[in-house]
Amino acid sequence: MKLQSTLVFAAVLLTCFLGRSTNADCGAISSEETPPIATQKSVVDQDQQPQATEQSAAGNEGLSESGKASECGVFDKLKAFPNAEGFGAETAGGRGGRVIVVDNLNDSGPGSLREAVESNGPRFVVFSVAGTIELETSLRISNPQITIAGHSAPGGGIALKNSSSNAGPSIVVKASDVIIRYLRVRPGLAAPSTSVDAISILGGKNIVIANNSFSWAVDENVNLWFDATDVTIQHNIISEGIWDGNHTQRGLHSKGLLSGQKNVRVSVHHNLFAHNDDRNPLLTGLGKNEVVNNIIYNYYQAGIIFSIGRGFKANLIGNVFLPGKQHRAHRYPIIVGGQLVDNAIYVKDNLSPRRSKGTEDDWLNVGFNGIIGDEEYNGSLLDQAVRSKTPFPMSTIPVISEPAATLVERLLPTVGATLPKRDAVDIRIVDDVRKGTGVMINDPAEVGGWPTLEPGTVADRDRDGMPDAWELQHGLNPNDPSDAMQDMNGDGYVNLEQYLECLRLQKTSP
C-alpha cells in the first residue's frame, strides 16, 4: 500500500503542479484559472532580519528546506498553510489533533459549530453542511490549537449572523494558535450596543484570520484588543460596517479594523476594505506593525490610521486607495496621530488620488494630526523625524509585496471567502470596487440582506474532512479517519491540509 500511495501521489503532484488536473484530481470545484504561483527574492536589512519583500519576475518559490514537494505545489517551509505570511504564519493551529465535523446549522448542541469551538485540545473543524448559522450568543474560542476550515463545506459554504437579541461579537477569540479561514461573518443590526463586531480577538498569540468575509458590524468588522500578539489578517473582505446603526456611543460608526494599544506584531496584508467610514485599518499602541498590499475603497473619514505611542514601528507598502462616491478628496489617505518621539514609519509604493502616477514622493499620502478623533482627520504632512528611509525587519515569514500598480486585478479574484464559492454579497462588493459604485449602508436590508446559501453534501464515510473519492485517488483509506492527520509525503502538512490546499489552488472567483 505504501508503494501504491507513493506512485499515486507522484502522478497527482505532476498534474496539480502543472495546472492540468481535473476536478477529481484535487477534489476541487471548477475554476476559470489557477492563481499564479508567486515567486520572490527575500530582502533583509543589515541585521539579516526579514521584512516585507517584493515579488520578482522569476524564482523558485516552493523549494522546501528538505527538498520535498507538497501535494499541489512545492512550498518553502511549514506554515499555518502554504500561502500564510506575516507575524502569525508560523502557528500550527489544530494540526495533529482530532477532526471535528460540523454537521448541522444549529446554534448549539451535538454536531454544532459552537460545540466544536468550545472543545478542548488540538482540533481541526470541518463542515459536512452548508448554510447560515444564527448565533444566539457569541461563539467563544477560549481553548488553544484550533483550525476552522470553512472551505471544507459543500454547497455555498458557511455564514454566521447574530440573532436579533445577540448584541455581542459574532466570534470572540481569547486563545492562542488559532486559524480561521473561509467563513462569511455578518452580524447585522441588534439591540443597541457598542460591541457588535464580526470578530473580536481579545488576547492570545499566533493567530491567522484568512480568506473570510466580514461585513455588517455595528462597532468594528474586525477588532483586536488587549494583548493579541503575532497576528496575521490576510486575504479577507472587510466591508460595509454599519454607518448609522445601533451604536450607543458614537452615532455614525462604520469601521473596518481596529488594533488596540497593547497588541504587538500585527500583519494586515492583501485585504479588501470597502465601504467603511474609516479604520481601514486603525493601528494603535507599541511595537511592530505592517500594512501591505491592501485595497481601500470608498473610505469617508480616513483610510489607514496610526495612533502611536513610544516604540511604534510600521511598514506601509503597496496599498491602493480607491475613491468611491463618498470619498473626500482633501483628506490624506494615511493619517498619523499621537506621539512623535521614538516612533517611525516607512512608506513605499502606496497609490491614491494624491499619488496616482506612482512616481511622486511617497510621503504625499501621509498626514499628521496630533489628535486622532478630530472630525477632519487631516492636519499637515508628517514630520521628517518620523519618516524612516528603510523598511523595518518584520516576521520570520515575511509578507511578499507586489507592485501597487497591478494589485487590484491580481487581488480581487482571491480575496474573501471564495470557497466553496463567493456569495451574492461578496460578488456585489467586488463589483462595486471594479465599477466605482456602491455606498456605505445603515441596514443590510438596503443591499438585499443575507443571501440564502446553496445546500450540499459531502461523501465522507469516515468523517475525516476528506471526500471518499479524493482519498481513494491518493491511496488513502476512506474508512480510516486517522489518515487525515497523517502526512503522506513527509513535508509536514497533514493529508487534510493537502486536500484543502488543492481546493485553494484550483479555485478563483470573478
Cα gap 276→445, rounded to integer Å: 17
Residue 373's contacts (CB-CB under 8 Å, 6 or more residues apart) are none
Let me know if 83 is exposed, middle or buried by CB neighbors in 10 A (0-12, 13-18, 19+): buried
Q: Which residues contact 171 (CB under 8 A, 6 or more apart)?
A: 138, 139, 141, 160, 180, 185, 198, 199, 200
Nearest CA-CA partner of 349 in 322, 317, 305, 381: 317
The continuous run of DSSP H or E covering 45 comes out as: none
Q: Residues with catalytic annotation?
A: 279
DSSP string, 215-247: E--SSEEEEEETT-EEEEEES-EEE---SSSSB
* Cα gap 471→12, rounded to integer Å: 12
Cβ distance 240 to 263 under 8 Å? no
Q: How far is CA 8 from CA 14, 41, 163, 465, 503, in A?
A: 10, 33, 47, 20, 18
Say which residue the cell 503542479 belongs to: 17
**The three grid cell numbers given for residue 483, joined into one nine-digit string:** 489518515
| Three-class SS of 460-503 | CCCCCCCCHHHHHHCCCCCCCHHHHHCCCCCCCCCHHHHHHHHH
* Cell 513610544, located at residue: 310
DSSP collapsed to 3 states, 370-425: CCCCCCCCCCEECCHHHECCCCCCCCCCCCEECCHHHHHHHHHHHCCCCCCCCCHH
DSSP-based three-state secondary structure for 335: strand
Q: Alpha-carbon distance 14 to 11, whole Å?
A: 5
Instruction: Give me the phi and psi of 264, to 5 degrees please.
Output: -130, 135
Nearest to 320 by CA among 259, 369, 269: 269
State the Cα–Cα distance between residues 109 and 313, nearest whole angstrom.
45
C-alpha 410/C-alpha 168 separation (Å) is 35
Cell numbers representing residue 454 in the block:
446553496
Residue 13 CB partners (closer than 8 Å, separation 6+): 69, 71, 72
